[in-house]
Amino acid sequence: MRYFCRKGRHFSANRKSNGIATLWRTRSIILGISYRYFRQDKRDYPYMLQNQFQIVYFEATRRCNLRCPSCMTGSNEPRKVRRRVRSELTLEEIRDRILLPARRLGVHTVGWSGGEFLLRKDALDLLRLTVELELECSVLSNCKALTRKRLEKIQDVTRGRAKIIVGMNALDEGNRWSRDNDSDRSIQVLEDCAELGLGRHVVITIGKYNTESFEKTVDYIVKNSISYNRSPLVARGSGSQCFEQMGFDRNDLEKYFHPALRRNPHGYVSYTPFFLSPELHEQASGGIRNNTIPENPAIGCWAGSWLAINAEGDVSVCPVLLDVLNAGNVREQPLDELVESSSLFADITDRSRLKGRCGRCRYQYTCGGCRAMAYFHTGDYMGDDPTCFFDPVDRSTVSEHEEETNRNFKKYLLVARAAGVYKPPGDRPSGRSPLPTEKGKC
């Protein structure tokens, strides 16, 4: 099996000394077979757990070539980064402790992020490995290192299956303030991707700096048929220095961000408040686990629907909660075992335990409130989302935006189906296909 062998640089070096190489290869094959037998084939997760986690978001390095002032991984502080780089997971650890366990959990896509992921020397090897494991891959980049030549290389090693995710907060100078880069560079990369036939997605980090420009940014993205999601500015890493001043509040959300978000189904990814009728979601999904967190497709707050991992191997329920709210480390337990035994994942996926307005709301399950906003504003990740502008008396209070959300959700189902994250009832996933066999590999 290709991924149990020492391919590439390390293996080539070993191969030069024949005896050691043969021994190493034999050991790899034996370990590979026993690993597969005991850990792969024998672990058979129930359908529910296997289909809960579709995406791994992995910040594989903290190194970066930009200095964004609110960087949540703290990559704008070179001294701290240098100290932590020594603890970054290696390719072998990533393969054995994250990718193979993720596959057993039914994960569909790995999103490679940073820092700037492309600064890892083994970035292309990791992308190649992802595709060999039959996982889809996305590359989140600040675009500085993403030349046309680099894009072609990524296209080549992923057999054209990579999606490029670009961080772009505004089309105007707001982008340079928050991203340390001009939006022209991001736009150029998006255009190059279109020409090369690579998938495209944009992440817009929202805060007070882009209230006015948000609608225009979304309009540009939608006009160019690109999917997107909003990510909140949070008090993680260097964000903690400007969160109070620059974090958005409920008025900003109601007046500036929410109207554009709810109008465009291409961005129905991880945002709150999400006023989807629970009955409609149950009907569309086939009722899978809708009394805990909504799946097939995931909607509202995605915490607990995806797996977020930092460069040192800590795991959390959402990327913006990494470093501050961790379920454990993959060096101690492989990802699947860690998630299965985590009390954080157990809590966050049980929305019947939400408190305050979120706990008495009709959208308790289909929205759930941004758990990160609850945590960063109140310290309680199961608390009320203070940025929500909806004030339900009880479960009978219906939002004036429900009808519009329901209408656009039906369109979103088509997008989600095409992206492989939604299957209509009667056409449910039956779990992962077996891993590629040794035949024809290595």
How far, in Å, CA of 228 to CA of 268, rounded?
A: 8
The least CB distance from residue 211 to ligand SF4, in Å, is: 18
Closest to 307 (Cα-Cα) out of 281, 338, 266, 269: 338
Determine which residue in the list 52, 169, 175, 270 makes contact with ligand SF4, applying CB under 6 A: 270
- Identify which of residues 335 and 361 has a Cβ nearer to ligand SF4 in the complex: 361
Closest to 370 (Cα-Cα) out of 242, 257, 231: 231
End-to-end Cα spacing for the chain = 6
Task: Quote the longest CA-to-CA distance of the chain.
Answer: 74
The least CB distance from residue 166 to ligand SF4, in Å, is: 18
- Identify which of residues 238 and 272 has a Cβ nearer to ligand SF4 in the complex: 272
The secondary structure of residue 90, as a DSSP letter, is P
Determine which residue in the list 309, 311, 315, 318 makes contact with ligand SF4, applying CB under 6 A: 318
x/- contact string, 351-370, with ligand SF4 (CB under 6 A)?
------xx--x-xx--xxxx
Which residue shows structure tokens 């790995």? 110
Per CB under 6 A, 207 contacts ligand SF4 = no
Q: Return all residues near 439 (Cβ < 8 A) that are at least 6 apart.
A: none
Determine contact, residues 262/389, Cβ cutoff 8 Å: no
Helix (H, G, I), strand (E, B) or coil at 162: strand
Determine contact, residues 111/167, Cβ cutoff 8 Å: no
The least CB distance from residue 78 to ligand SF4, in Å, is: 27
x/- contact string, 368-407, with ligand SF4 (CB under 6 A)?
xxxxx------------x--x-x-x---------------
- Identify which of residues 103 and 230 has a Cβ nearer to ligand SF4 in the complex: 230
- Identify which of residues 334 and 383 has a Cβ nearer to ligand SF4 in the complex: 383
Per CB under 6 A, 302 contacts ligand SF4 = yes
Determine which residue in the list 74, 106, 114, 232 makes contact with ligand SF4, applying CB under 6 A: 232
Task: With CB under 6 A as the rule, give the number of residues binding ligand SF4.
Answer: 25
The least CB distance from residue 372 to ligand SF4, in Å, is: 4
Closest to 357 (Cα-Cα) out of 289, 296, 291, 272: 272
Count of alpha carbons within 13 angstroms of residue 63, beta-carbon side: 13
Name the residues that contact ligand SF4, by CB under 6 A: 231-232, 270, 272-273, 301-303, 318, 320, 357-358, 361, 363-364, 367-372, 385, 388, 390, 392
